[in-house]
Chains A and B, each alone.
Chain A
Amino acid sequence: MINVKNLTKTFGYKTAVDDLSFEVEKGEILGFLGPNGAGKTTTMRILTGFFPPTSGTATVNGVDVCEEPMKVREMVGYLPEHVPLYKDMTTREFLNFAASAKRLKGNERKQAVERTIERCNLASVADQLIDTLSRGFRQRVGLGQAIINNPKVLILDEPTVGLDPTQVRDIRALLRRLGEDSTVILSSHILSEVQQMCNRVVIISQGRMQAIDTPENLTGTMKGEARVSVRLTGAESDEVESKLGAIEGVDRVESTAGGNFSVISKSAKADVLAPKIAGLVVGAGWELYELKTHTANLEDIFIELTGPEKGKAIAVDTEA
């Protein structure tokens, strides 16, 4: 549905997007993850036909964004990060404006407006001035204008930012429903959100793609360490450390006050280590209070891929 190849966009000397390539299949929800200024918004704007890339190509449903931007715009619904709305209009008036700007006419337009009001749960504020609406409702009106013409592709820039937890839940539920018939790209820096909602995740940093995969694979193939934390009593910490350290695959053991130990391994998985540790503790006659495995989450990967050290590595690469 969406095909991006070697996309690059520069503003003067600044490169916002650098050689980005990815594909999004029909019906997929793709998450864009990256720190502020990573090039998420720029990429999204290119895909909406807002401006053309400096080089590279992007097609939506086979239509090139440079050659036929108007055709692309008709197929794409976009929700910018700061949702702009005409505050002097009512919800219904605004949706009607969006529908007519998107070339829906007559009866079709009326139906689209009513359908959107229903889909976004806006019936209670349909005839209220947008100026008087709460943040959550405004976000839904914004989403409403994006979906009003049933676009094939939805591009949402930080759709849940600044909402309270209930509103976030509502928006996510709505997005999941929308994801059933359209292809969705959403950007976020809320990692758990991306982990929950997206089929695939693109991590970008400084305009470059750092990773693209399913959230499960990303966390699974995390190169970081497995970590099991144990709390126990009944022995000197030196003794515990040396015995835990002797378990196969364990690289090091860190101890903190109160009988807390962290067993760290680069090769073995936490799930494999945990029963071995439990066996050792019980066998030695110590008292075990707590045993916890830590699996890497998207947050760790995000930090690993976009952190300052990675930034340095990239800088070195470009110099070489």
Chain B
Amino acid sequence: MLSILKRELTAYFNSALAWIVIAVFILISGFVFVSLLGIYSEQSLAASSSPFGAQSLNATDRVMVPTFQWIGYLLLFFLPVLTMRLIAEESRIGMLEMLFTYPLTDWEIVLGKFLGALGVVAVMLGLSSSYFIVLGRMVTVEWKLVAAGYLGVMLLSSAFVAFGIWASSLTSSQMISAVITYGGLLASWLVVIAGDNVQTAKEIFGGLSPMDHLVEMARGTVTSHHLVYFTAWTCLFLFLTVRTLESRKWSD
């Protein structure tokens, strides 16, 4: 498994892909953070002159939670780019055939790739932590909440990456793999909108949106409910990927 993991990290950082994704992610999420911070400082300035305003304004609600929420949205757009090649490309160049003759189990191949992509995400998120360090110099930051937020986005990423790998295992075209991933992830996000409009839909799908789980975790509610949700999602799609790989050997 380590050999596959190492190979994936090499592939990401040998190509410009990982660097560009990281750079653009940092650029946009940095912009979002600075904007949120700007709005917050204006509002808190205005609130300081009013006796009631100050209490409802805190950095957690106004800056941190929205930042994590935005990181979640950005991940939805960037992760498919990272995951689309994982298995599709191997399949296109015929490397999958060779890997199946190496003494590696299908699980080792899939987990190696999963952790490789997650490694890039970790670097990306690690760099974004500078925002909170900056914030911490200006106001008191509850570091526990920052940790909860990062746990949330990491879990969200692992779910998204697992879904992306599965999509990538379905095809040998990176484009198709990316489109499936976008479709699936957007659909999972949009169940919230469906839930807002239709009461029965809300009852059925209400707990299904990964973004809702992320926001709640960023607010500090790290309950088993959220952990199980993301872990189950991740395991399900990793399992489906392994099964897809198995079936591809048969249909050749």
Interface set of A (CB-CB < 8 Å, partner B): 11, 45, 48-51, 70-71, 73-74, 76, 78, 80, 82, 84-86, 88-89, 93, 97-98, 100-103, 145
Contact = CB atoms under 8 A, between A and B. Distances in A.
B58 interface: no
Give the top 6 A-B pairs by smallest Cβ distance, nearest first.
A84-B94, A100-B3, A48-B101, A84-B95, A73-B103, A101-B3
Contacts of A70: 103, 105
A73 B99 CA distance: 10
A101 B97 contact: no
Given A80-B94, A101-B4, A73 B249 contact: no
A71 B7 CA distance: 23
Given A50-B249, A88-B14, A88-B15, A101 B101 contact: no
B103 A102 contact: yes
A14 to B, nearest CB: 11
A97 B7 contact: yes
Given A78-B101, A101-B102, A89 B10 contact: yes
A80 B250 contact: no
A51 B11 contact: no
A97 B98 contact: no
Contacts of B100: 50-51
A312 to B, nearest CB: 29
B2 interface: yes
Interface of B: 2-4, 6-7, 10-11, 14-15, 93-95, 97-105, 249-252
B93 A103 contact: no
B165 to A, nearest CB: 18
B2 to A, nearest CB: 7
B1 to A, nearest CB: 10
A191 B103 CA distance: 32
B95 A86 contact: yes
Contact of A73 (B2, B11, B102, B251): B102
A147 to B, nearest CB: 13
Contacts of B10: 88-89, 93
A73 B6 contact: no
Given A49-B101, A50-B100, A82 B94 contact: yes
Contacts of B2: 100
Contacts, number: 64
B103 A80 contact: no
A93 B252 CA distance: 30
Contacts of A93: 10
Nearest to B1: A101
B97 A80 contact: yes
Nearest to A89: B10
B34 to A, nearest CB: 35
Given A78-B101, A100-B2, A86 B252 contact: no
Nearest to A94: B7
A101 B251 contact: no
Contacts of B14: 88-89
Contacts of B101: 45, 48-50, 73, 76, 78, 80
A88 B105 CA distance: 24
Contact of A97 (B6, B97, B250): B6
A93 B4 CA distance: 13
A84 to B, nearest CB: 4
Contact of A88 (B11, B98, B99, B250): B11
B11 to A, nearest CB: 6
Given A82-B94, A101-B104, A51 B15 contact: no
Contacts of A71: 103
Contacts of B97: 50, 80, 84
Contact of A84 (B3, B4, B7, B98): B98
Nearest to A51: B249
Contacts of A100: 2-3, 6
7 contacts: A11-B251, A70-B103, A73-B103, A78-B101, A86-B11, A88-B10, A88-B15
A188 B14 CA distance: 36
B82 to A, nearest CB: 16
Nearest to B7: A97
A70 B251 CA distance: 21
Nearest to B2: A100
Contacts of B250: 11, 51
A102 B14 CA distance: 23
